[in-house]
Structure 1
Amino acid sequence: MEYWTHSSLQRSVVPLCLLLFLCISTTTFLKAKAFNLTTLTFSDSYSPLFSEFNIRRSPDDKTVHLLLNRFSGSGIISSDYYNYGFFSASIKMPSKYTAGIVVAFYTSNVDTFEKNHDELDIEFLGNVQGKAWRFQTNVYGNGSVSRGREERYRMWFDPSKDSHRYGILWSPRKVIFYVDKIPIREVVRNAAMRGDYPSKPMSVYATIWDASSWATNGGKKKVDYRYQPFIAEFKDLVLEGCIVDPIDQIPSSNCTDQIATLLAKDYSSITSEGRKSMRWFRERYMYYSYCYDNIRYPVPPPECVIISSERERFKSSGGLRSNIRLGATRRRHHLRRITKRQSKTAVAASGLEALI
């Protein structure tokens, strides 16, 4: 039996308070009401895009695994084109060594509009084992790839351990990117953007591929096929929008009503709590934004909203200042001070064991 002295109890209180503070602070910003979504089977939503031999579907057709090996990557495409919508999937990243790999979930119409295509991207950049995963979001309109609107972030969790839901809201008014129902980025349509705002019907894609030339540390780390196959899992597939013919010159009359329905959904606007969550994420995990890249854009693009608390963290190149550390690093540093025994004892005593 272990007896606790007054001094030992005092020593346990500080780590417990610290742990509770960190947990409460984090969960306060991560609270989000669950979206009411209808999920689809693979057959009802997607078709193979390339390398069907590297695509594995579950027996119930609700989960699809995309493989990358030394022969090829793989990809899927939505069976229909959409004129605005909300597109989402629960995704689990490949594990172990994944340098040089890109897993992407995005919308595009490059197959139909080769020289003036639109695109909305969530791209996960492979990591060196033990390092935080990185990912980026992009917005392209009317072939404006030379005027890319990229932002890059680090994860506050390991996306290879469990599935997490990622979503893209694309409406006539705005684009919102989501991670686990947390809005991480909002691009509000500005008239000065003109064709740079995506407005033509798009398909939805999911792919995994070898991007050794740039994805990890600027291409210094390559895909290591000793760890193949690399498997990305997609499930809980959601495609909500107006289905259209991409080359039809007369928009479907049904889209007026369906777009109105889309705009009324809870994921089409950000609540005050959602804005707190978005600020929490961006101030701790965003490490590049084109809006603060004064070298690339001496005058910020018209849709940029300059936020002083973000602005002060970035150099003129849009990257973090050298003395800025991301929130995950600071939190891990504090958590290391709590011994394993103290953590387990304190958390079990307070009924918060699930948060370890």
Structure 2
Amino acid sequence: MAAAFSPSQILLLSILFTALTSASADFYRDAEITWGDGRANILDGGRQLTLSLDQYSGSGFQSKNEYLFGRFDMQMKLVPGNSAGTVTTFFLSSQGAGHDEIDFEFLGNSSGEPYTVHTNVYAGGKGDKEQQFRLWFDPTSSFHTYSIVWNPQRIIFMVDNIPIRVFNNHEAIGTPFPKTQAMRVYCSLWNADDWATQGGRVKTDWSKAPFLAAYRNFNINSAASDSVNSAATWKTQELDAQGRNRLRWVQQKYMVYNYCSDSKRFAQRIPPECNRSRF
């Protein structure tokens, strides 16, 4: 039986993990603003970065370096109030037609309705591996940590160090896995009201603009930063029994879409990796 976690336990885990990841980050050193014409701003001496969106443009930034595997943490505070039509992102991507990509996308909603956390994995330009979740807290009232662990064996998506999804390497059965192309970290805030909220039925209310999202504690633990810690856990990280219980808790209570369960979409043949993992 999966372990149950009370709201107070989850809050305590979030507070503890926030404390552990509060080491000073420097957006001046590690990132560069790539678009937005002044709508993205680095604040607090490089410790925080804000993105804004209005009816003319959104904004975004990327890491200065590329990485082949690692653990990537970002604390984010999402657009508050009526965020319908907006998408706030934190993802890894390579470049080119056959690109690899690992996605966290946060789909806004009308005031009082929860965000949808959209995850996906691309390999060689092909995605179609979507899972979507609600969150067990308000992601707009304070900062929370979103993490991607990427190693040759698996990809782990985490929220406040709680795993919400694992995508294992199933190349042996013909499922492509991103492991040969280095990727940068990308973050953006943009308008996607043609699809983001209820399939595009709810449009962006521009009277609420500018919309604002905030980022801080951008932390990268990769091969390039492992000279001090050659035994970095991300290289072989997997879930222990407690992690599997937390993953079951999230997926049973908060998952709202799983491509592996979409029999209408995959009427002819379910993707082969779906038969290899309960998650």
**TM-score interval (norm. to shorter):** 0.7 to 0.9
Q: Residue 26 of structure 1: CA displacement?
A: 3.7
**8 Å contact from structure 1 (residues 166, 179) kept in 2:** yes
> In the alignment, which residue of structure 1 is the partner of 2:74?
89
**8 Å contact from structure 1 (residues 242, 258) kept in 2:** no
> In the alignment, which residue of structure 2 is the partner of 1:201?
182
- The amino acid across from 2:102 in the alignment is L
Among all aligned residue pairs of Structure 1 and Structure 2, give the percentage whose two residues are the same amino acid.
Answer: 32
Report the more deviating stretch, 294-303 or 55-64. Answer: 294-303
> In the alignment, which residue of structure 2 is the partner of 1:75?
60
Question: What does 1:166-177 align with in structure 2 at a 5 Å threshold?
Answer: 166-177=146-157
1:22-60: CA deviation from partner (whole Å, max 9, x where unpaired): x96344567757496555200121101211410111132
2:111 corresponds, among 121, 129, 138, to 129
Q: Residue 89 of structure 1: CA displacement?
A: 0.7
Higher helix share: 1
Q: Residue 192 of structure 1: CA displacement?
A: 3.4
Coordinate RMSD, CA, aligned = 2.6
1:115 corresponds, among 86, 93, 97, to 97
- The amino acid across from 2:208 in the alignment is Y
> In the alignment, which residue of structure 2 is the partner of 1:299?
269
1:51 corresponds, among 33, 36, 47, to 36
User: Aligned partners of 1:178 and 1:209: how far apart in 2?
Assistant: 23
> In the alignment, which residue of structure 2 is the partner of 1:281?
250
- Normalised by the length of structure 1, the TM-score is 0.70
2:170 corresponds, among 187, 190, 198, to 190
> In the alignment, which residue of structure 2 is the partner of 1:234?
215
User: Aligned partners of 2:124 and 2:169: how far apart in 1?
Assistant: 14
User: Aligned partners of 1:67 and 1:154: how far apart in 2?
Assistant: 23
1:267–1:94 CA distance, 2 compared to 1 (3 A): farther
- Normalised by the length of structure 2, the TM-score is 0.88
Report the more deviating stretch, 229-238 or 48-57. Answer: 48-57
> In the alignment, which residue of structure 2 is the partner of 1:335?
none
1:74-128: CA deviation from partner (whole Å, max 9, x where unpaired): 0000000001111111100111111000001000012xxx210000000000111
User: Aligned partners of 2:148 and 2:187: how far apart in 1?
Assistant: 13
- The amino acid across from 1:84 in the alignment is F
Question: What does 1:301-340 align with in structure 2 at a 5 Å threshold?
Answer: 301-304=271-274, 305=276, 307=278
Q: Residue 207 of structure 1: CA displacement?
A: 0.3
**8 Å contact from structure 1 (residues 30, 182) kept in 2:** no
Q: Which has the higher contact order (CA 8 A, sep 6+)?
A: 2
- The amino acid across from 1:55 in the alignment is A
Q: Which runs of 5+ in 1 are unaligned?
A: 1-22, 244-253, 311-356
Q: Residue 184 of structure 1: CA displacement?
A: 0.3
Q: Residue 258 of structure 1: CA displacement?
A: 9.5
**8 Å contact from structure 2 (residues 134, 255) kept in 1:** yes
**8 Å contact from structure 2 (residues 28, 42) kept in 1:** no
2:130 corresponds, among 150, 163, 174, to 150
Q: Which entry has the higher C-alpha Rg, 1 or 2?
A: 1
User: Aligned partners of 2:137 and 2:80: how far apart in 1?
Assistant: 13
- The amino acid across from 2:48 in the alignment is T
